[in-house]
Structure 1
Amino acid sequence: MTQRPTLALTMGDPVGIGPEITVRTLLENTEALSARGVVVGDPVTVRRALAVCGLDAEVRVLNSWDLPDAREGVVDCLDIAVLGETELPWGTVDRRAGQAAVRAIEVATRAALDRHVAGIVTGPINKEAIWAAGSEHLGHTEMLGALTGAKDQSTMFVVRGKKIFFATRHLSLREALNRVSVPQQTESIDAALTALRVFGHDHPRLAVAAINPHGGENGAFGDEEIVHLEPAVRAARDRGVNVVGPVPADSVFHQLLADDRYDGVLSQYHDQGHIAAKTFDFNGTISVTVGLPILRTSVDHGTAFDIAGQGVADPETMRSAFRHGAEFAPFADRIRAAYPAG
């Protein structure tokens, strides 16, 4: 039997839904798990999550990555020793919760860099809480970049095997449009093609989404396609790569997700790609950070403080992130080679 890869799971904010969806992922439908999961966090948080979910399991506390054999009905937890036995109120912004979330990310990332684990799977964090704990990062992606020395990390959505990339992300729509240029499009195309190759597409097919309605209608509805997108696509094709576009955004995601014309689409701004993926399969859409020297998959939803601690959170996105972590684990060496640590 082929040995299963080991993945480190961070629960995100310990008073959000992350702990619940983490324990459900590891304990429900265990026969389908294609990787071994080790939780990185405080054991008190794992025990509380088990209790609110009504799950009966042993929490085995670990203090190193010298792992014992996996056992059915046991959740292994690498203790980060932040909260001790303190039980924080569910669903509230708390500096101590932010501190625990940040520490878990740091420990899991170090484990991946040191090859103790094949990759990390991250639960949702609360930005206010990590900022209250002293973090200066906007979120996971920026934090992981700093921890690994990566300078050009970006997001790749995965939905039913297809990939969506983003030329811009956390910007206003106006600012995103201001960033559009031939060099920016060329860099984004190259980054998307590299990621597709790293994650198993040896001969990638990429489509570039248009910005304006109907792709601009030859300049009638905007000229970004003519001035910036078309030259970048043409230059890429001249290098012999399989890139098409700009394709109107009301068609390109259907062609990706339903018609199987492409392996990936380069979305021009945050919501253009997010809306398409999450409408098609909200719970099945997960995030992979590309550009890091480690594998990182993640849920793409928040902490849901309003339902935290009730045991009702849907774990499907965390399960999908875990499954994709297992699926992508064989690419760990490719990831290191393509995106060396800084």
Structure 2
Amino acid sequence: MAGAAMIGITMGDPAGVGPEVTLKAVDAMSPEDQAQTRIFGCRATLEAAQKAVGTSVDLDAVLIDIPVEGAPLPFGVEDPRAGDAAFRFVEAAVRAAEANEIGCIVTAPLNKATLNAAGHHYDGHTGMLAHLTGQPKAWMILASDKLKVIHVSTHVSLKDAIDRATPEQILKTIRIGNDHLKRIGYDKPRIAVAGINPHCGEGGLFGTEDDVQVVPAVKAAQEEGIDAHGPISADTLFHRAYNGAFDLIVAQYHDQGHIPVKLVAFDTGVNVTLGLPIDRTSVDHGTAFDIAGKGIANHENMVHAIAYARKLAAGR
């Protein structure tokens, strides 16, 4: 492999749309970009997907073949064998990234139910990647042209998310987001921190979490020289950021950040994992079992995830 310039795409759940969007995206690449791409997946599954989508990707040139028991598995059907395969694709890509054989991982979607049914107990890619790289935590940023959001917490209950939004954790999230934006070319990122409660608690009428948990984190970030603002009520913040007032929003929990980004950039938003010793981007959609195997899955999101990955790989 060609090292840092190479990107590795993990095929995702073999029964989902991951194989299809991967093949469509690779098929649309220039020969030069294809030469800097590897797919971590299953040959039998990809051959079946090629028939569905009508692509002609040279698998001999791009594939790191990781066999799957019973492949090709039926498309659109939950199967623990598919969950185990999705884990093994990611694990192989992580090891390749750690060995500097690839510069960034791009992940196609997996299914959390089949992943856990196979004995891999993670809440998704982010937690899995943190564990595989020996890190206590990773962060998720959803990035689009006009709206970028990093999350203090993601796949936990709303009650747990509020408890996890400690001043220390919010400050870490601000730092991680600030460092990432600087890496991709922002000189002094303008970072807005969303409030937890409606209207940031309205002076204590709707809760004191914003005063007790968010305000100290923002002040600490400012003291470090970070251009941080907040807490700002979430009902106006995303509109302001979308129109250019801020470069990044720190969202306190999953839906607070995901809903706005998916509203304005459903097909173009990219999921980026931060806080790890390796780089990873991902599509921001699921396995879509209802259309898997039909050859109609839209690969636009995968194209954007790959483009972001190449930007990160080039800057390593």
Using structure 1 for the length normalisation, give the TM-score: 0.85
1:25 maps to 25
Q: What CA distance in whole angstroms lies between the structure 2 residues aligned with 1:106 and 1:178?
A: 31
Indicate yes or no: 2:260 matched with 1:281: no
CA contact (8 A) 1:4 1:36 kept: no
Question: Residue deviations 1:171-221, cap 9 Å, x none?
Answer: 222222233333332233223223333443342221101122233322233
Q: What CA distance in whole angstroms lies between the structure 2 residues aligned with 1:4 and 1:149?
A: 21
SS at match of 2:255: helix
Matches of residues 241-252 of structure 1 in structure 2 within 5 Å?
Answer: 241-252=226-237
CA contact (8 A) 2:142 2:148 kept: yes
Structure 1 residues 309 and 162, CA, compared in 2 at 3 Å: closer, same or farther? same
1:177 maps to 162
1:82 maps to 68
Indicate yes or no: 2:250 matched with 1:266: yes
SS at match of 1:38: strand
> Number of paired residues?
314
1:132 maps to 117
Shift of 1:29: 5.6
CA contact (8 A) 1:14 1:101 kept: yes
Shift of 1:309: 0.4
1:14 maps to 14
Shift of 1:284: 0.9
Q: What CA distance in whole angstroms lies between the structure 2 residues aligned with 1:141 and 1:4?
A: 21
* Among candidates 202, 216, 223, match of residue 208 of structure 2: 223
Structure 1 residues 127 and 80, CA, compared in 2 at 3 Å: closer, same or farther? same
2:287 maps to 303
Deviation above 6 Å: which 4+ runs of structure 1? none
Q: What CA distance in whole angstroms lies between the structure 1 residues aligned with 2:20 and 2:88?
A: 19
CA contact (8 A) 1:34 1:326 kept: no
Shift of 1:280: 0.9
Question: Residue deviations 1:57-91, cap 9 Å, x none?
Answer: 4321xxxxxxxxxxxxxx611111334x7321111
SS at match of 1:118: strand
Shift of 1:320: 1.0
SS at match of 1:152: coil
Matches of residues 1-342 of structure 1 in structure 2 within 5 Å?
Answer: 5-28=5-28, 30=30, 36-60=36-60, 76-83=62-69, 86-160=71-145, 162-258=147-243, 260-332=244-316
Q: What are structure 2's unaligned runs of at least 5 residues?
A: none
1:70 maps to none
Shift of 1:278: 0.6
CA contact (8 A) 1:289 1:296 kept: yes
Q: What CA distance in whole angstroms lies between the structure 1 residues aligned with 2:163 and 2:190?
A: 27
Q: Which amino acid aligns with 1:289?
A: T
CA contact (8 A) 2:194 2:231 kept: yes
Q: What CA distance in whole angstroms lies between the structure 1 residues aligned with 2:144 and 2:98?
A: 26
Q: What CA distance in whole angstroms lies between the structure 1 residues aligned with 2:206 and 2:127?
A: 35
Instruction: Report the RMSD for the aligned CA atoms in angstroms.
Output: 2.2
Question: Residue deviations 1:265-312, cap 9 Å, x none?
Answer: 100111010011111111111111111111100112111111110001
What percent identity do the matched residue pairs reach?
Answer: 40
CA contact (8 A) 2:4 2:104 kept: no
CA contact (8 A) 2:147 2:261 kept: no
Q: What CA distance in whole angstroms lies between the structure 2 residues aligned with 1:179 and 1:95?
A: 31
Shift of 1:34: 9.0
Structure 1 residues 98 and 248, CA, compared in 2 at 3 Å: closer, same or farther? same
Structure 1 residues 36 and 233, CA, compared in 2 at 3 Å: closer, same or farther? same
Q: Which amino acid aligns with 1:171?
A: V
